[in-house]
Structure 1
Amino acid sequence: MAEQDSFMQQLQSLFWKYMGRSIGQAEHPHDILYHYTNLDSFMGMIDNRSIWMSKGNFLNDSGELVYIHHIARHVLELFEQHINQKYGNDVELLKCRNRFVGKMRWALSKFLHEIHLDHLEVYVLSLTPNQDSLTLWYNYSGGDGYNIGFSYDKLLAKINRLSENMGQEFSVVYGNVLYEKEKQEQTLLHSLIRSFEFLLQHRGQFDDDEMVAKLPAYFTEIITSCSIFFKHEAFKNEEEYRIAFTRRRKANTGDGKVLFRLANGIIIPYISIELKEKLPVRHVTIGPKNNIDIAKNGVEYYLRSRGYPLEHITVSKSVVSLRY
């Protein structure tokens, strides 16, 4: 059993080594990343020293998380073609390929089922290097909200420390969203090819029924991760960077960790990740429809009252000027 667990850990490490490069997981070229939100959410996070993460399938993209279904189906066809071309008519290798693809298809179907039933939950903090995007103002704050500019390094360090203390309940992933369909397909395809070739190098374990039974859990991790970071190219102007928490739980049970807020006339589930210290705020931008002359003074006075030193934080008005 220990050998099998180690084997699966090697597979996971192999996947994240490649996936991490694809989404730029370990680094970001911008010192500050911005989160667009409304005034209530902005004040709620500052007052409670917490990060609010919205439930993934309640975000503005109606294809959120399930978009991976279309990508994965095509990639599996490409994968089968690749294996056929590389290994020809080797009967034993084709059997391995069929077992591999079968488990991947099963995991994809199970993933969609779990998302639908809320057995698998994803909570997302959406960030962007774009400080003043008219599209983002309207999509996420109605044009009159605020965006919070976080120190990227400090925020990620705090999130990583918290995730280490959460045990097995939540897992954290982060990185840039990929919008190019070709890059999405190549990322998933190369991950599957590398995984399959790794399995072939350990044929003795791969042929073991108990080991094969563990593959769906590995494939589910791949599918879940790709579902978080793959979005339709129509959203590419958002330039989104995501921090996401995932977990599994039984549906239809009470859960005090899930909170609810009102947005655009609907109820949005979210979780509040408490940092227990001041948020690493570097900048606050006031939305383009907020033309009240005391808005900037109000933000500065509010931040000072909550213990945020303004010598390290700047507050500015959006350079876009709108009447309505």
Structure 2
Amino acid sequence: MEDLKQIKEKLMDIYRGGEIQKNLENKNDQRDIIYYYTNVFALKNILENETLWFSSGKYMNDSTDLNYSIGLIREISDEILANERQKSCENGLEMYEKDVFLKEKVELLIEKIDNKLNNVFLLSTSKSPDSLTLWANYSTHDGYNIGMEKPKVKSMIEGTERFSIFCYDVIYDQKRQNEIIREYISILYNDLRPKYLLEKDEYAREYINGEILESIADQLSIYSIFIKNPSFKQEEEYRIALVNLDERDIRDILKFRISNGVFIPYIEIKFNNSEDNEVRLLPLKEVTIGPKNSLDIAEYGLKNMFEMANYNINEIAINKSSIPLRY
């Protein structure tokens, strides 16, 4: 049992030592502006109310989004077992026990991760100021994107009650993705498996199935938020996540919007709780008008909106997309 507690402590050291933060931080990219692509109706709401909507991660545009890492977990587990079979001199029964152990624990782990991802709410932004893909996906080319100061956005939402906040670039590099996941599956297979198969104490087995797998699931669920299919690399996504780690009751702040005939849960984060509309706190630096919005009055109307809503127009740049779309 002491060996199992040491493994649990090893997992906690990974968390306490900031290993997750180190793996997710992108120190090579120092861009301080993040861009949120949206349509004109959502932009009006953002400017008037100084709010941003964080949608449930299970309802993202990419249907495989948060489940992508689950597929990787299964692939890496199968690969570990295949390699083990190739080099193993053990009899069939011993190899069968290893197979059954890893497959059972991986499915239990995936179930725990999937449940934790139900408590994630996301704001998807980009580091690309003028992306044809994002104009098409989020604003049918005629919308807007707002450029916000990343450090200020992070600091202003960190006081959000009932949620832990995680803000990182999405990882698209499959080699990095595999290295991260393999570390945890290796702990499961190399450290836990021998003790589980030799352990006759039911309490010890329950400890593995419970506390230790729970700890692995906690950490892999955080990574799962920021691991995405490489096919979406062109989005250059910077993701801000509100995670209800303690599974607190949030029904009093949970709202729903309708998109494509579906009710989508979201959390509204307000950047200015003051009733004084003379002071605007939303950290806006620029707004870009989409490539298909060629109306001369688009910029004029946007400036009018800023002035009427008491934004300092001299501190916000208004740009026009440089992408040449005729229709």
Counterpart residue type for residue 174 of structure 2: K
Write the mapping of 1:245-264 to structure 2, written as runs, cut at 5 A: 245-247=242-244, 255-264=251-260
Pair 1:294–1:154, CA change in 2 (3 A): same
Structure number with bigger Rg = 2
> CA-to-partner distance for each residue in 1:104-143, whole Å, 9 max, x for gaps?
431213434x37xxx8232111111100011100101111
Confirm or deny: 8 A CA contact 1:23 1:175 kept in the other structure.
yes
- The Cα of 1:34 is off from its aligned counterpart by 0.4
User: Normalized against structure 2, the TM-score is what?
Assistant: 0.77
Given the alignment, which residue of 102, 123, 138 partners 2:121?
123
Deviation (angstroms), 1:208:
4.5
SS in 2 for 1:261: strand
8 Å CA contact 1:78–1:189 kept in 2: the answer is no
Specify the SS of the correspondent of 1:161: coil
Corresponding residue SS for 2:239: strand
How many pairs are equivalent?
310
Instruction: Report which stretch shifted further, 5-14 or 209-218.
Output: 5-14
Residue 200 of structure 2 is matched in structure 1 by none
Secondary structure, counterpart of 2:243 in structure 1 = strand
Counterpart for residue 146 of structure 2:
148
Change over 3 Å in CA distance of 1:156–1:269 after alignment to 2? same
Helix, strand or coil for the counterpart of 2:136?
helix
Cα gap change, 1:39 to 1:74, in 2 (>3 Å)? same
Residue 133 of structure 2 corresponds to residue 135 of structure 1? yes
Q: Check 1:151–1:75 CA distance in 2 against 1; reply closer, same or farther (3 A cut).
A: same
Name the SS for the 1:311 alignment partner.
helix
Pair 235,73 (structure 1): closer, same or farther in 2 beyond 3 Å: same
Paired position in structure 2 for 1:73? 74
Deviations 1:265-318 (A, max 9, x none): 544332111222621111111111111111112222222322322222111111
* Offset of residue 231 of structure 1: 1.5
CA positional deviation for 1:6: 11
* Change in 2 beyond 3 A, CA 1:317/1:58: same
Map of 1:285 onto structure 2: 288
- Counterpart of 1:226 (choices 206, 223, 227) is 223
d(CA) in 2 for partners of 1:6, 1:152? 39
RMSD, matched Cα = 4.0
Shift of 1:80: 5.5
Q: Unaligned stretches of 5+ in structure 1?
A: 90-94
Q: Which stretch of structure 1 is more off in the superposition, 259-268 or 284-293?
A: 259-268
Is 1:274 aligned to residue 270 of structure 2?
yes
What is the alpha-carbon distance in structure 2 between the residues aligned to residue 123 and residue 27 of structure 1?
Answer: 26
TM-score calculated relative to the size of structure 1: 0.78
Taking a change above 3 Å as real, the CA distance of residues 60 and 88 of structure 1, as seen in their structure-2 partners, is same
Distance of 1:180 and 1:57 partners within structure 2:
22
Find the residue that maps to 2:137 and give its secondary structure.
helix
Q: From the superposition, tell whether residues 88 and 145 of structure 1 become closer, same or farther in structure 2 (CA, over 3 Å).
A: farther
Could you tell me which residue of structure 1 aligns to residue 323 of structure 2?
320
